[in-house]
A and B are shown apart, each in its own frame.
Chain A
């Protein structure tokens, strides 16, 4: 009833090919952006912004990066954590070399370093596929983790082997470091994520995205219709790693303020992979839903008992949230393997015919 495109006529190809052809979608996205850019900064508490929203934005971007590679191009990667680390360490080194350059520019630039490293580790992808490629990216993950500890130059020979974020200002306002307000960091993260998501969405609708999906669906057929596999796959690796690198730099500079090799371990790669699987492979919306669910659920579980006046020991809550998260993953894999994004799609279909389903 409310969600129906009856009467919305498209009079040009441009209108038909728009990013959001349906009016309700356009209104919806505008409302979401309005809430995210205006509502949240005005109303949300520092804890909500710092511990829930910024992490979700960071993980959404990383999940988007992995989704471009795994969901859209069909190349399974377990090196996400490593590529995020490349972005973070690159951004740290850039701030030492260019202390006066705008930090947002540096965060975005660090993505290019991750893209370069990702391309190198993407080289085997023409020869090997599936599980074997996963193992090759696993090697990348371990090699990069090793570098983050062993190559002392990367962390400027700090005795603590960790990278710290100095305070950087933008128009006199602190944007990184301990004095930066959560709202400032949130708005910067949100802008970067919104921009890169828009870019990804358009990439997917264009020639590049279509070649990626063609390769995913059947690489032999794709080759036969004239798609050059090597370039296509390497480009997918590069773009995916770019997104992961920017996410890693954001994680350190806009969220944690400090990181060591352990922050970019194999566990991080798996976490992002779970987000993509639960959210939905091959869906940008899924990246956001997956990140929100996996990061948000433990926090909700942790806050819920005291919210209802029940006191449960913090360790018990932690273990419970592990159990529930594990159960949810299994549940989703059985009931809806296409993830939350598919649920949303089904929901939309139902809404179109509601209240008279046929």
Chain B
């Protein structure tokens, strides 16, 4: 009897499996913005605040302004778990619903989607992650990665270090440790770091952290203790960050000589190490703190009404604000696209034009209720990134404090690398489609 039920159940499951509906239709007169999130898995600690920030800002625009230009935004989350297979599956499931833009929030997923974007005519917006070379608009018309690339980040970190040491010339003979996520994300800045090491005569010690060993770094930090690097630079993500900060505190490494990229600077990265994390530095390109009119509106229109999963004290945290910034850039690009195309309900191709000529001035940041939230953003057909400034923040034991001015990247070192990498990518992926999209600002 039981077996009969089992067999029946299995058969039923098979039938249901075959008839999975391809997609639910999204009404034509909405702006469909899917959000690729990871609220589960080993990267959830980084993924949750970002997902909340993106979701809440767009929901706030819906609740406060009735969408953008009078058109509602349809927000839909797809859980990727930071896995490439799931990310591609999410992409395939939203593709037929004509999304305006995809923010994959994973370098691996971004790399998988880059070749598909131009074919499916869906712009990809990877905010300061993904393929750095995709900043070259002539080769990657559908990919956007403002405000800065990893190479920009590395050049900013090295400028900060040089500044503290008293100039680049003083770096001679010093040792700089580089602890990084052993994958595309962490490997990408290495050519630039090596180049600086050759130019200024410092030694680089590399400490790769394999994805499976993110939470098991004690052996690696023994190596750090032995090598005694003068500075440590970190390119970490997910569970790797808090582990590294805790291990650094445990080995007694000088925290004010330990500096992470913008993806290694969440409150949850520093907080678990307690008092030991005090002094830890990280890059940032968005402001922290909840004292912004737009964030107040989020609390009033979204969180107070229970339309969000955000705990109230998360608003204003670094990665929450990062998510808000991501959503704000998307919203501004939609506005720009509506203006350029003279349409309210735009499509992916219009959105591409909107992103390509996106300008967010200091004044505009103020108008949208986020004064001084990020550096002014300036994207052009030629330069899909802008190579904007970032600043250094320091953990004071309970919150982040800005400790440097906005530092511009060393474009003369970064741009040649970007162009060379773009050329390399295109030659290796022949036949790569030639850019046929018209350029609105005549920079190409």
Stretch binding the partner chain, chosen from B3-11, B243-251, B297-305, B393-401 = B3-11
B20→A299 contact, CB < 8 A: yes
In the complex, B227 has a CB within 8 A of chain A: no
* Closest Cβ–Cβ distance, residue B98 to chain A (whole Å): 14
- Residue B108 contacts which of A159, A165, A179, A260 (CB distance < 8 angstroms)? A260
In the complex, A60 has a CB within 8 A of chain B: no
Do A256 and B85 form a contact, CB below 8 Å, given A52-B20, A159-B421, A164-B115? yes
What 1/0 flags go to A240-274 for Cβ under 8 Å of B? Answer: 00000000000000011111111101100000000
* Closest Cβ–Cβ distance, residue A95 to chain B (whole Å): 10
B16→A257 contact, CB < 8 A: no
Q: Which of A178, A179, A259 has the most CB of B within 10 A?
A: A178
Do A343 and B119 form a contact, CB below 8 Å, given A262-B84, A314-B77? no
Do A161 and B187 form a contact, CB below 8 Å, given A314-B79, A315-B40, A347-B7? yes
B40→A159 contact, CB < 8 A: no
Stretch binding the partner chain, chosen from B63-71, B196-204, B287-295, B423-431 = B423-431
Stretch binding the partner chain, chosen from B88-96, B276-284, B325-333 = B88-96
What 1/0 flags go to B47-86 for Cβ under 8 Å of A? Answer: 0000000000000000000000000000001110100110
B115→A257 contact, CB < 8 A: yes
Residues of A within 8 A of B21 (CB): 303, 306-307
In the complex, A67 has a CB within 8 A of chain B: no
* Closest Cβ–Cβ distance, residue A337 to chain B (whole Å): 14
In the complex, B363 has a CB within 8 A of chain A: no
In the complex, B163 has a CB within 8 A of chain A: no
Residues of B within 8 A of A346 (CB): 3, 7
Within 8 A of B (CB), among A45-60: 45-48, 50-52, 55
In the complex, A127 has a CB within 8 A of chain B: no
* Closest Cβ–Cβ distance, residue A152 to chain B (whole Å): 9
A48→B40 contact, CB < 8 A: no
In the complex, A318 has a CB within 8 A of chain B: yes
In the complex, A304 has a CB within 8 A of chain B: yes
| Complex CA distance for A158 and B132, rounded to whole angstroms | 12
* Closest Cβ–Cβ distance, residue A149 to chain B (whole Å): 6
What 1/0 flags go to B15-37 for Cβ under 8 Å of A? Answer: 01100111110000000000001
A318→B79 contact, CB < 8 A: yes
In the complex, A296 has a CB within 8 A of chain B: yes
A314→B78 contact, CB < 8 A: yes
B10→A51 contact, CB < 8 A: no
Within 8 A of A (CB), among B177-195: 182-184, 187-188, 191
| Complex CA distance for A46 and B85, rounded to whole angstroms | 16
> Nearest residue in A to B182 (C-beta to C-beta)?
A149
| Complex CA distance for A258 and B211, rounded to whole angstroms | 18
| Complex CA distance for A64 and B78, rounded to whole angstroms | 31
In the complex, B39 has a CB within 8 A of chain A: yes
* Closest Cβ–Cβ distance, residue B162 to chain A (whole Å): 24
A161→B22 contact, CB < 8 A: no
Q: How large is the interface on A (under 10, 10 to 19, 20 to 34, 35 or more residues)?
A: 35 or more
Q: How large is the interface on B (under 10, 10 to 19, 20 to 34, 35 or more residues)?
A: 35 or more
* Closest Cβ–Cβ distance, residue A131 to chain B (whole Å): 20
Within 8 A of B (CB), among A303-337: 303-304, 306-307, 313-315, 317-319, 322, 335-336
Residues of B within 8 A of A319 (CB): 40
| Complex CA distance for A158 and B78, rounded to whole angstroms | 29
Residues of A within 8 A of B118 (CB): 178
| Complex CA distance for A146 and B429, rounded to whole angstroms | 25
In the complex, A340 has a CB within 8 A of chain B: yes
A262→B183 contact, CB < 8 A: yes
B108→A315 contact, CB < 8 A: no
A161→B79 contact, CB < 8 A: no
B88→A343 contact, CB < 8 A: no
Q: Which of A47, A159, A161 has the most CB of B within 10 A?
A: A159
In the complex, B438 has a CB within 8 A of chain A: no
Do A261 and B183 form a contact, CB below 8 Å, given A46-B92, A160-B188, A319-B40? yes
Within 8 A of B (CB), among A111-170: 145-146, 149, 156, 158-162, 164-167
Beyond the given A256-B112, A260-B184, A346-B7, please list 8 additional residue pairs across the A-B interface where CB-CB is below 8 A.
Answer: A159-B133, A159-B191, A159-B424, A161-B187, A178-B120, A262-B108, A300-B16, A350-B4
A and B contact pairs by CB, cutoff 8 A, 17 listed: A45-B22, A47-B93, A48-B22, A50-B92, A158-B428, A159-B187, A160-B107, A178-B120, A256-B112, A299-B89, A300-B13, A300-B17, A300-B20, A306-B21, A314-B37, A315-B40, A318-B79
| 4 nearest CB pairs, A to B | A315-B39, A45-B22, A258-B112, A160-B184
